[in-house]
Amino acid sequence: LKLWNLLIIGAGPAGLRAAIAAAEEGLEVKIIDEFSKVGGRLLGQLHQEPSGKWWNGIEEANTLHQKAINLGVAIECGTSVHDLESSYLRWKVYTSKGVEEAENLLLATGATEVPLPMPGWTLPGVMSIGAAQVMGNVHRVKPGNSCVIIGANVLSIAIANELRLCGIEVKEIIIPLANISSKDDGNPEKVMESLMRLTHLAPSSFLRQAGKLAKLVNPSIAAKFYPKNGIKIDNIPIKIKTAAAEIIGDQKVTGVKTVQVKPNGEIIPNTEKVTEVDFVCIAGGLAPLPELAALSGCSFKYVHELGGHVPVHSERMDTNVPNLFVAGNITGVESAKVAMAQGKVAGLVIASAVKGSSETINAAIKKAVNEVRKVREEALIQFQPNIVDARKLIYRQFEQDKVEDRVVSIS
Amino acid sequence: MTMRVDNHPVLGKQGNHKQVTIYFNGEPHEAFEGDTIASALMAKGIYSLRHHEVSGNERGIYCNIGHCFECRVKLEGRKVVRACLTPVDDGMEIYSLSSFGERND
């Protein structure tokens, strides 16, 4: 059995970029991914940047893929990882095809969509917004001719336009009813607040306007005066005071029963209406996908701004488990560009651990860490405010855990 | 009517794909090489992939990238796979999973 210097789980932007950085330093690297194509969430991404240039995730993925192949990185798609263990400084990773062994392991598993359970959501034709995105942009199949999107956030507004480009009529973007699982997503004031927090860099003119509006009025006033029939962007009405009461259909979706809600999310009686559609998208946002990190025994911290529980790690992308590294959305939900920059840091840090540190590689790591900070600042899609502070919280926890480990081993 | 996005204003034309035939619950369907079971069936307007084990209600894809396991189907030889992650093969036989009450095997 081959012993890899570095095994990477996840062939998305973080995993691919890490593989390239490590292979450039002479490491033997393998990447495993359970999807049939390389690129992870990059594959679905398609939006226009303020410069007018299109961010085409498929092209970005192809470029990274080709670079990795040219550097001799082994890439295995269609393989799932279900367990891992470390003994005598060797990782054993159990996959659907067998076992892999490596000195270093990088988890770049990305993020998963947060479900918003509601009546009727198990009907065929109800899917996550990311599912529709992949169906349209990657498989080039429309899940139907018309849809409603439930959940008004930066991701759903961006993908609504992508569905429109596939020739799908997005009849409206509405919100879920306020309940224990939808939380702030079902509160128009909170939805308005989060849309207005988006900066002038946001990937749509509506969001840029909302960002400017935020400087003038507060979100609860904006929610109060938000028009009942919504504001259109790319011809798609965004209705933050219309909520999905039930998804209806027999054996398959036929429509969404909606109600009008007050700015605090309370239902306004006698406002029921049915919007007929072929399919429904649920947009509950993203959360880090950390199960494999949990199997390794590494410690976690819940950080709301990062999307949920994340493995405690340093800015060098190492965790408190020896030879275990993380990069990309598993460390917190941010854009693909941030994931790539983090991947590069991880690849270089692992290379310096394998090959020995030198002035050159230390300088390269320092530069790569600074690059992550810069990319984060300039990020087009900022999923949450205060990302920088939330990140610092994780890095502090990492240092604290290290000190506690030392105290335990002395006593 | 096809649900394929052959021409996309930004992504361009869909390349020429080799056509294959798959069988879903015995019915033949044409699909393209590179399709997953889920995308091939959705292109034909097939949303329901299985019946829930207990309620018997119809279920289809939810996340489309392997996380939720809602789209599990059975291949010949009883192997259960996720339709959204499994590429089609020419002649592939795919079956819906039925509810416990309907199962006699």
Interface test with chain B among A113, A139, A247, by most B beta carbons within 10 Å: A139
- CB atoms B66 and A58 under 8 Å: no
Whether A110 and A41 have beta carbons less than 8 Å apart is answered as yes
Shortest CA distance from B13: residue in chain A? A140
- Model confidence at A220, pLDDT cuts 50, 70, 90, reads confident
**pLDDT interval class at A384 (50, 70, 90):** low
Closest CA in chain A for residue B70: A122
More confident site: A203 or A55: A55
- Please give the Cα distance from B11 to A58 (Å, whole number): 9
Which three-class secondary structure state does DSSP give residue B40? helix
CB-CB under 8 Å, A289 with B62: no
| Longest CA pairwise span in chain A (Å) | 71
Which of B61, B86, B89 should one mutate to test binding to chain A, selecting the residue with the greatest count of A CBs within 10 A?
B61
Write the ipTM: 0.96
Nearest chain A Cα distance for residue B33, angstroms: 11
pLDDT tens profile B58-103: 999 999 999 999 999 999 988 999 999 999 999 999 999 988 877 7
**A251–B87 CB contact, under 8 Å:** no
Percent of chain B with pLDDT over 70: 97
Query: Residues of B with CB below 8 A from A137's CB?
Result: 8, 11
CB contact under 8 A, A141 and B60: no
> Which region, left, alpha or beta, applies to residue A98 given φ > 0 means left and ψ of -120 to 50 means alpha?
left
Contact A46 B10 (CB under 8 A): yes
| Out of A112, A131, A141, closest to residue B43 by CB | A141
pTM of structure: 0.94
Closest Cβ–Cβ partner in A36, A56, A166 for B36: A36
Q: So what's the pLDDT on residue B103?
A: 72
| Residue A409 binned pLDDT confidence (cut-offs 50, 70, 90) | low
- Paired with A259 in beta bridges are A243
Q: Which of A80, A135, A253 sits opposite B42 (nearest CB)?
A: A135
**Of the candidates B37, B57, B61, the residue with the CA atom closest to the CA atom of residue B47:** B61
Does the beta-carbon distance from A36 to B87 stay under 8 Å?
Answer: yes
More confident residue, A6 or A386: A6
Q: For residue A124, give the chain B residue with the closest CA.
A: B60
Put simply, the answer to whether B47 touches A252 (Cβ < 8 Å) is: yes
Question: Residue B42: pLDDT above 90?
Answer: yes
Closest Cα of chain B to A35: distance in Å?
A: 6
**What tens digit of pLDDT does each residue of A63-117 get?**
999 999 999 999 999 999 999 999 888 999 999 999 999 999 999 999 999 999 9
Q: Give percent of chain B above pLDDT 90.
A: 84
Q: What is the pLDDT of residue A200?
A: 46
- What number of C-beta contacts closer than 8 Å exist between A and B? 104
- For every residue of A368-403, DSSP letters joined together read HHHHHHHHHHH-S---STTHHHHHHHHHHHHHHHHH
In whole numbers, what is the pLDDT of chain A averaged over residues? 92
Judge: B62–A126 Cβ closer than 8 Å, yes or no: yes
Phi, psi (5° rounding) for residue B94? -125, 140
Q: List the single best residue of B52, B62, B69, B89 to mutate versus A (max A Cβ within 10 A).
A: B62
**Cβ–Cβ gap A141/B5 under 8 Å:** yes
Q: Out of A49-53, A168-172, A397-401, B55-59, which region has the weakest mean confidence (pLDDT)?
A: A49-53
pLDDT for B65: 97
